[in-house]
Amino acid sequence: MGIEGRTLAALQAIALFEGMRPADLEALAAVTVVRSYPEHAVIVNEGDRADSLYLIFSGTIEFFVNGDDGRRLVLGMRGPGEYFGEIALDSGVRSASAIAIEPCRLGMLERTAFLSFLGSHPETALALINQLIGRTRTLTERVRDLALLDVYGRLAKLLLSMAREDNGRLVVAQGLTQQEMGERIGASREMVSRILRDLKAGGYVRFEGRRLLILRKPPRGW
């Protein structure tokens, strides 16, 4: 399969273009620039001019903002079949930075080309709007957590959201470091470490190597 064929196949896996006619996808593939990034590569920086939409063909991207004190707050992650950079539609600046947390292959659609495509494909524009609404709801919930939950509440919620059932046990198997947990909930590594020690002492969690077992649901408050 040639480069254009691989690009077309990758576009077919993007949820935003689900159900699109092959001829339309071929036209889109012709204006899509494909780039590969190594692990830890910064894709875009907060404050950069927004001029492209990025389609994730493979790999995982993490999004974050930096505070004036140098602390990082992770906003979320996206993987294959998803996209980011839709803020490029208003030709403003990037509101967050994006980094590859593993080797990634991305498709880039320049703003003018993407706007032209949306103009002739209203069904894709509607799908984009619906997904933007969902992302706005998620962001609103995140802001609410930061404003109304203390650090303990945010950490407990993070652990429960990451846990998966394994033989009747809730297991957090992603292996996040305490620093990474802190970046996701807006807290210091030291605070995360202290809360995890307290949860372990209280019989709520246990560590098995890089896995964390939730033995019983943490209390609402600590």
The share of the chain scoring above pLDDT 70, in percent, equals 96
pLDDT, position 2: 52
Strands 104-110 and 42-44: unpaired
**Cβ-proximal residues to 98 (8 Å cutoff; 6+ apart), any chain:** 42, 43, 44, 54, 61, 62, 63, 84, 85
The Cα 83–Cα 100 span in angstroms is 13
Does the pLDDT value for residue 100 go beyond 80? yes
Task: Kindly state the average pLDDT of the residues 99-107.
Answer: 97
pLDDT bracket for residue 96 (50, 70, 90): very high
Please count the other Cβ atoms lying within 10 Å of the Cβ belonging to residue 182: 24
pLDDT, position 3: 54
pTM, two decimal places: 0.81
pLDDT, position 54: 97
Task: Kindly state the average pLDDT of the residues 24-49.
Answer: 94
Task: Kindly state the average pLDDT of the residues 45-71.
Answer: 92
Lowest mean pLDDT among 17-31, 133-147, 166-180: 166-180
The share of the chain scoring above pLDDT 90, in percent, equals 64
Does the pLDDT value for residue 63 go beyond 90? yes
Does the pLDDT value for residue 1 go beyond 60? no
pLDDT bracket for residue 87 (50, 70, 90): confident
- Spell out the domains of the chain, with CATH numbers in brackets: 3-147 (2.60.120.10), 149-214 (1.10.10.10)
